[in-house]
Structure 1
Amino acid sequence: MLSAGQALRDRYQLQQKLGQNAGRQTWLATDTQASPPTDVVVKLLAFNPQMQWDDLKLFQREAQVLKNLNHPRIPKYLDYFSVDGVGASLEASSADNNSDQSNVTGLPWFGLVQDYIPGDSLKQLLEQGKPFSENQVRQFAEDLLKILINLHELSPPVLHRDIKPSNLILGKKNQIYLVDFGAVQDKAKAEGATFTVVGTSGYAPPEQLWGKAVPASDLYALGATLIHLLTGIPPAELPQQRMRIKFQDKVQINPNFAHWINQLIQPAPEKRLSTARQALSSLQSGFIDHPSKFSVQESISRLSDTDSGYGCGCLALLGLIGLGGLISLFLSNAAHQAKQSETKQYVGEMNRAQQAYVLEKNAFIENAFIERTQAIALNLTDAGEYTQALTVTRSIPHDSIRSNTIQAIAPYLTTVTEYEQGIQVAKTITDYEQKAKALDAMVRRLVAIGEHKRAVQITETIQLYYGGKDKAMAAIERYKPSP
């Protein structure tokens, strides 16, 4: 039995058990032979007749892969050994998978030693009730994608296959680290082999459960992890529709960011963003803006700064010609010509069906403008310019996007003028369900600020959305703040 204070190989003195499950233990230890003595992590696998042979193969594969990795956000491989001095080496672990299992009979423990990363796992922080802001989660996504780019572009590619909050460590300098490569797959060695099903329910994509992991499988797990961080709810506990996790009603975030996450969690891998590099480019592109980075003036003028052909002096145009005229201007032939090179790049990242639609319908410019207009509204909200934000929202021609934008703005409204304007903008939506969702967001705000009578008036106009008048009144009671 292993215990604190025990020294393995007269070198690694065990300090504290960090985790344990199914014949595995993870310890914080001190490398007494290092100068000066250094904290390390020792992962141990107990070898016994009851263990699955694949467990040992996965453990050895983890050691092999880690030995060849060199990334500042992945704990560095330091050592691999067997307790009691019985031979076990990385060279032996690469032997034929069909070799006689008796070769390792009598080995009580295998050990893998790595750098120790001080910090807490994101799972621990979630369990402590720590909320994560949208900006934090977005930064985690960017950092993890940069790690995945490094792994996936190795030759052969390395797939982690078990990205989840418990395998992400938030370091002392708020840097994210990817740990636990126990499910790692060396793609070259996997070809033609019998697959071991690995991963964690809720985070692993469908194809991985069938033993056919691809780089996009790690992107799915990343998306599911981001959803957990944003909602505080494990993805396995969230509802699904057509095998896709439904989460947007559980959290208020930039609709563009939500759309990007939805691109990661598509059940079919061919419909997902296919590579980590493509996902990072999409996240950082102008189609997903960072609201906190821009002032009101910058939010509007950024259209002209970043897109030649969109015109200049957008702030003045808002007042002189109105948003309807601005839309017409942005959809002019001049704007269309100026966007050709960007269109080609954007279309190049789509699948064939999407390419055919865009090229046939010539929809790129319109869609780009709608997304940028929505970003302006959200940036104005972030800056506290709620009336202007609602004015911009009114110009969005798509009911679902206009509804989502109103829902994002509603929690920030504070005055009678603002919430009445929000109600009027919501009423311009023609699709009943989208209109009801937007008005329901306004009802929640009215209840929160004590405008109970006005909230009742609005719910009566959309009572079918709640399932009748009685259920509408019950919804209002639920929306009341807790005493």
Structure 2
Amino acid sequence: MLQTQQVLQGRYQLERQLGQNAGRQTWLATDLSVEPNQQVIVKLLAFNPQMQWEELKLFEREAQVLKNLNHPKIPKYHDYFSLDEETGGGLPWFGLVQDYIPGKSLRQMLDERKKLTESLVQRIATEVLKILIYLHELSPPVLHRDIKPSNLIFGENRQVYLVDFGAVTDRAKTEGVTFTVVGTSGYAPPEQLWGRAVPASDLYALGATLIHLLTGTPPAELPQHQMRIQFADKVNLNPSFTNWIEKLIEPAPEKRFTTAREALEAMVAATSPSYIKTNPQENENSVRYGRLAFLASIPLIILGLGVTAMPDLLDSSTKAKQSEAKQYVSAMNLAQQAYFLDNNQFSNSVTELGVGISTQTENYQYSTWGPDKAAFNYGITRNRKLKSYVGGTFLVPVNDVGAAKGEMKTLAIMCESKATGISVIPNPIIINGQPACGVGTTKIGK
């Protein structure tokens, strides 16, 4: 049997066993052949009569793929070797040596903290997507097929690393052939369990991983509806981030983001904080105008009075359905302004705004999110033929002549998606003191 302090291949001294299951062992070892000595990970697979031949093929494939990868967030390949039966305690062993990444797996962090913060999870998502962009844009694409918290290391340098390529596949070599069914229940998407992994399969696994990090509950233990993981009621997130995750975990791969690059661009657009630059102009309602002006305006919006008619080629039914969303989002904009006057902060609850809006209607889902100096109000379509809407209410300093030092005002804007069926919509931003709509959206109304 292999044991501590044993030296393999005349250079790898086994220090501590990190894991063991079904003929596999993982060791922290020291490479004695380099100066200074370097810590490495040695993964070992015992070849025994009960082992499936496919297990050795996957182990060899992991070594071959790692050997050809070059990314700073993927452990570097060092060596691949075999041990005879005498050295291996009666069994031949195969060994794979790679970089050791000091740090903790996200699974270990969950065990310690129960769940992670939204900002940390967004950062993790960004870093993993950058790794997937590298892997998926190789020729041929490389699919990891087993993204989950235990295979993501949060390094001591606070960087995220993707490890354990034991399920990896070179897609070009298996085109038109049934893939080996690998992956972890709860994280692997339906098509992978059916033996047909695609790049979007890694995106699904990432989405399921993010849900585990945010809820503290493994995705396999969460309820499902029509094969969709139900998690939104267990978290309090920026609704745009929630919608983005929900698109990652669509059961049908064609409904997910097409590529990791597209997913990253959509996440940046959906979660980027609004920013404030210089010299806002006095062309919107100011906080100093008082709460009553805002409250008096809200019923008019809800009833649809005073809404500027806009030319539209859409049929009357579609126009009426979208009019509901425009009115409701505009009402939430005004209600956020009033709420700030009373509470010196924005609200994260549609109900708390007190405008009588249901969070879900036949055609739209409504939500609001109030970070520090802005509130974003969403009307996200549930109908592929309708557009989505987002409103922004911003707190900015008053710079006009005669304004008191430190005096603040609110500026509002409403944006419409340029395309129909959009479930992830970018937040408005402030540029040169004025609200502006994000990419893929257009300003509407006043």
Tell me which residue corresponds to 1:83.
83
Which of 215, 226, 237 is the aligned partner of 1:242? Answer: 226
Which of 254, 261, 271 is the aligned partner of 1:288? Answer: 271
Amino acid at match of 2:47: F
- CA gap of 1:373–1:33, structure 2 versus 1, over 3 A, is farther
Amino acid at match of 1:248: A
Tell me which residue corresponds to 1:386.
345
For the Cα contact (< 8 Å) 1:377–1:390, is it kept in 2? no
Tell me which residue corresponds to 2:412.
none
Distance (Å, rounded) in 2 between the aligned partners of 1:376 and 1:64? 59
TM-score normalised according to structure 1 size: 0.63
Which of 109, 114, 123 is the aligned partner of 2:93? Answer: 109
Tell me which residue corresponds to 1:69.
69
- Bigger fraction of residues in strand: 2
Matches within 5 A, 1:202-281: 202-281=186-265
Residue 59 of structure 1 aligns to a residue whose secondary structure is helix
- CA gap of 1:4–1:73, structure 2 versus 1, over 3 A, is same
For the Cα contact (< 8 Å) 2:301–2:327, is it kept in 1? no
Q: CA deviation at 1:207?
A: 0.3
Q: CA deviation at 1:400?
A: 2.7
Tell me which residue corresponds to 1:24.
24
Unaligned runs of 5+ in 1: 87-105, 306-310, 337-355, 413-483
Matches within 5 A, 1:137-152: 137-152=121-136
Which of 170, 173, 177 is the aligned partner of 1:186? Answer: 170
Distance (Å, rounded) in 2 between the aligned partners of 1:64 and 1:331? 64
For the Cα contact (< 8 Å) 1:145–1:276, is it kept in 2? yes
Residue 113 of structure 2 aligns to a residue whose secondary structure is coil
Q: CA deviation at 1:126?
A: 1.1
Q: CA deviation at 1:171?
A: 0.5
Residue 400 of structure 1 aligns to a residue whose secondary structure is coil
Residue 35 of structure 2 aligns to a residue whose secondary structure is coil
Tell me which residue corresponds to 1:9.
9
Residue range with higher mean Cα deviation, 312-321 or 9-18: 312-321
- CA gap of 1:387–1:263, structure 2 versus 1, over 3 A, is closer
- Bigger fraction of residues in helix: 1
- CA gap of 1:377–1:272, structure 2 versus 1, over 3 A, is farther
Amino acid at match of 1:385: N
Distance (Å, rounded) in 2 between the aligned partners of 1:14 and 1:240? 44
For the Cα contact (< 8 Å) 1:4–1:15, is it kept in 2? yes
Matches within 5 A, 1:356-435: 385-386=344-345, 393=353, 399-400=359-360, 405=367
Residue 196 of structure 1 aligns to a residue whose secondary structure is coil
Residue range with higher mean Cα deviation, 223-232 or 323-332: 323-332
Amino acid at match of 1:35: E
Q: CA RMSD of the aligned region, Å?
A: 4.1
Q: CA deviation at 1:394?
A: 5.8
Distance (Å, rounded) in 1 between the aligned partners of 2:334 and 2:121? 21
Amino acid at match of 2:207: G
Tell me which residue corresponds to 1:49.
49
Amino acid at match of 1:386: Q
| CA deviations over 1:159-216 (Å, ceiling 9, x no partner) | 1100000000000122111000000010011113342100000000000000111111
Aligned length: 352
Residue 386 of structure 1 aligns to a residue whose secondary structure is coil
Q: CA deviation at 1:365?
A: 11
For the Cα contact (< 8 Å) 1:206–1:267, is it kept in 2? yes
Residue range with higher mean Cα deviation, 41-50 or 317-326: 317-326
Amino acid at match of 1:64: Q
- CA gap of 1:130–1:232, structure 2 versus 1, over 3 A, is closer
Whether 1:175 and 2:122 are equivalent positions in the alignment is no
- CA gap of 1:253–1:372, structure 2 versus 1, over 3 A, is farther
Q: CA deviation at 1:274?
A: 1.9
Residue range with higher mean Cα deviation, 108-117 or 388-397: 388-397
Distance (Å, rounded) in 2 between the aligned partners of 1:394 and 1:229? 32
Distance (Å, rounded) in 2 between the aligned partners of 1:43 and 1:190? 25
Distance (Å, rounded) in 2 between the aligned partners of 1:331 and 1:60? 66
Amino acid at match of 1:10: G
Q: CA deviation at 1:281?
A: 0.8
Distance (Å, rounded) in 2 between the aligned partners of 1:288 and 1:371? 19
Distance (Å, rounded) in 2 between the aligned partners of 1:129 and 1:404? 31
Unaligned runs of 5+ in 2: 373-446
- CA gap of 1:171–1:130, structure 2 versus 1, over 3 A, is farther
Q: CA deviation at 1:139?
A: 0.7
Which of 110, 123, 129 is the aligned partner of 2:107? Answer: 123
Question: Bigger relative contact order, structure 1 or 2, given CA contacts below 8 A and separation 6+?
Answer: 2
Q: CA deviation at 1:256?
A: 1.5
Residue range with higher mean Cα deviation, 197-206 or 274-283: 274-283
| CA deviations over 1:212-254 (Å, ceiling 9, x no partner) | 1111101110010000000100000000011100011212111
- CA gap of 1:403–1:262, structure 2 versus 1, over 3 A, is closer
- CA gap of 1:389–1:155, structure 2 versus 1, over 3 A, is closer
Distance (Å, rounded) in 2 between the aligned partners of 1:371 and 1:278? 27
Q: CA deviation at 1:21?
A: 1.0
- CA gap of 1:40–1:259, structure 2 versus 1, over 3 A, is same
Amino acid at match of 1:281: E
Q: CA deviation at 1:403?
A: 8.4
Tell me which residue corresponds to 1:160.
144
For the Cα contact (< 8 Å) 1:243–1:267, is it kept in 2? yes
Q: CA deviation at 1:397?
A: 6.4
Residue 154 of structure 2 aligns to a residue whose secondary structure is strand
Distance (Å, rounded) in 2 between the aligned partners of 1:250 and 1:238? 10
For the Cα contact (< 8 Å) 2:208–2:219, is it kept in 1? yes
For the Cα contact (< 8 Å) 2:178–2:196, is it kept in 1? no
| CA deviations over 1:323-382 (Å, ceiling 9, x no partner) | 769999998769x9xxxxxxxxxxxxxxxxxxx99xx8699999799889979999998x
For the Cα contact (< 8 Å) 1:331–1:366, is it kept in 2? no
For the Cα contact (< 8 Å) 2:222–2:230, is it kept in 1? yes
Distance (Å, rounded) in 1 between the aligned partners of 2:72 and 2:330? 35
| CA deviations over 1:439-477 (Å, ceiling 9, x no partner) | xxxxxxxxxxxxxxxxxxxxxxxxxxxxxxxxxxxxxxx
Q: CA deviation at 1:282?
A: 0.7
Distance (Å, rounded) in 2 between the aligned partners of 1:117 and 1:231? 26
Q: CA deviation at 1:316?
A: 3.6
Residue 104 of structure 2 aligns to a residue whose secondary structure is strand
